[in-house]
Amino acid sequence: MELNEMKKIFTALYGDGEMRVFASPGRVNLIGEHIDYCGGCVMPAALTMKTTLVARKRNDDIIRLKATDLDIMVETTVSEMHNLKGKLRWGDYQIGVMLELMKDGYDICGCDLLYDDTVPHGGGLSSSAAIEVSTALCFATFSNEKKGIDKKIDMIEIALIAQRAEHNFIGVKCGIMDQFASAMGKKDHAVYLNCATLEYEHIPLNLKDCSIVLTNTNVKHSLGSSKYNERRAECEEGLNALKTVLPDIKELADVKIEQFEEHKDVIKNETTRKRIKHVVYECDRVKKSAEAMKNDDIALFGQYMNASHDSLQYDYEVTCPELDFVVRMGRNMDGVLGIRMTGAGFGGCTVAIIKNYAVDKYIERIGVLFEGRFGHKASFYVTGTGDGGREI
């Protein structure tokens, strides 16, 4: 929705007055899947699809939340909002973030808020991180103004606060990748992020004659959060087993491929062993992929993307028939350099790097094949990359 349109809706809902605008993007992860919570390096990029938030401070402690595409309005107060855990149909990311900001000493003021999302929900493109980061930025900004603190907001701190909201209010023990990408993304760059240290580098995405094409299976990952936490527990179990023979490792990302191959039998459970195999090999792939991208070798980058999907399909087992189908069909098409699932999995999107001349053909062909096979349509986004969270 155009910003002017949003402002009109805001005024109709909340009356005339000052309007502040914040925005924060979704992300696509190019490579490095399900390793952020194991201390691995990941390579997401912020999208142009984003959450836009129009906000106005109030003089009391009432919080009103509304989205442009939803009929309901959530109304609460700063002192009562902690009671809403598990009770909301919508608005929990926002409330979770406000509560975490409070724990860090931010002064949460009453506020009227209107959200507009162009990141598809449940598509694995971090629509939730986009909401969280825009909300955290908005309230941190208002708090600093109220306290007379004149310093630039630390966007890494904002990302960490947003992640804690997921852990504590939503109940998903997510890594830091999504919130970091949403907060710290940069147009035409990937964020090469070491999730153990939070050191990062913006790597230029010189895609030359290629585009990033997302294919949304429109399968919402409803089982995602329980399966997600299950994978985290499996990683923990594998790590503990490996520590008995490799006492110096702190996280799975510290384990080299040779060490894993030498010691993998200490992981007795076969399924757990497969999970750890994915993590160890994926960590290695990301490093090589970053080099490939820096060397402008998109074809090689694409091969790592393909290998990443295979590992997620067979070893980590977080794909689904729809994702695997798009990947299998896509790989056989002319001009597709690499294709894999992106995000948490169990539904959502694939990301592909495709030669520009082949993009239309890909969309047309996959569209037909997908609908023929599954009886519902896939959606396609030929996407640009955008900047991280900011006030507009």
Is 340 an interacting residue with respect to ligand GLA (CB under 6 A)?
A: no
Is 34 an interacting residue with respect to ligand GLA (CB under 6 A)?
A: yes
**Contact pick of 21, 162, 177, 290 for ligand GLA (by CB under 6 A):** 177
* Nearer CB in complex with ligand GLA: 4/197: 197
- Round to whole Å and give the CA distance between 118 and 49: 5
Least separation in angstroms between residue 37's CB and ligand GLA is: 6
The residue from 112, 178, 315, 324 that is catalytic is: 178
Q: Which stretch binds ligand GLA (CB under 6 A): 32-40, 112-120, 148-156, 358-366?
A: 32-40
* Nearer CB in complex with ligand GLA: 117/178: 178
Q: The tokens 């070798």 sit on which residue? A: 297
**How does DSSP classify residue 385?**
B
Is 36 an interacting residue with respect to ligand GLA (CB under 6 A)?
A: yes
Cα-to-chain-centroid distance, residue 249: 27
* Nearer CB in complex with ligand GLA: 66/274: 274
Positive or negative, the Cα torsion across 26, 32, 35, 36?
Answer: negative
Q: Which stretch binds ligand GLA (CB under 6 A): 172-180, 198-206, 256-264, 379-387?
A: 172-180
Strands 73-77, 62-67: pairing is antiparallel
Residues ≥6 apart with Cβ < 8 Å to 140: 101, 106, 153, 158, 161
**Contact pick of 344, 352, 353, 366 for ligand GLA (by CB under 6 A):** 344
Q: Which stretch binds ligand GLA (CB under 6 A): 5-13, 31-39, 53-61, 319-327?
A: 31-39
Is 235 an interacting residue with respect to ligand GLA (CB under 6 A)?
A: no
Is 231 an interacting residue with respect to ligand GLA (CB under 6 A)?
A: no
Strands (E), the chain: 20-29, 41-42, 44-57, 62-67, 73-77, 111-117, 189-194, 200-204, 210-216, 336-341, 349-355, 379-383, 390-391
- Dihedral of the alpha carbons of 350, 353, 357, 363, in degrees to the nearest 10: 0
* Nearer CB in complex with ligand GLA: 241/283: 283
Q: The tokens 């074809």 sit on which residue? A: 299
Draw the binding track, 37-56, toward ligand GLA (x: CB under 6 A; -: no contact): x-------------------
* Nearer CB in complex with ligand GLA: 34/309: 34
Q: Which stretch binds ligand GLA (CB under 6 A): 26-34, 91-99, 245-253, 302-310?
A: 26-34
Q: Which stretch binds ligand GLA (CB under 6 A): 14-22, 47-55, 143-151, 169-177?
A: 169-177
Is 175 an interacting residue with respect to ligand GLA (CB under 6 A)?
A: yes
* Nearer CB in complex with ligand GLA: 36/324: 36
Contact 183, 160 (CB under 8 A): no
Positive or negative, the Cα torsion across 107, 112, 117, 120?
Answer: positive
Check if 61 is active-site: no
- Round to whole Å and give the CA distance between 62 and 70: 20
Active centre residues (catalytic):
178
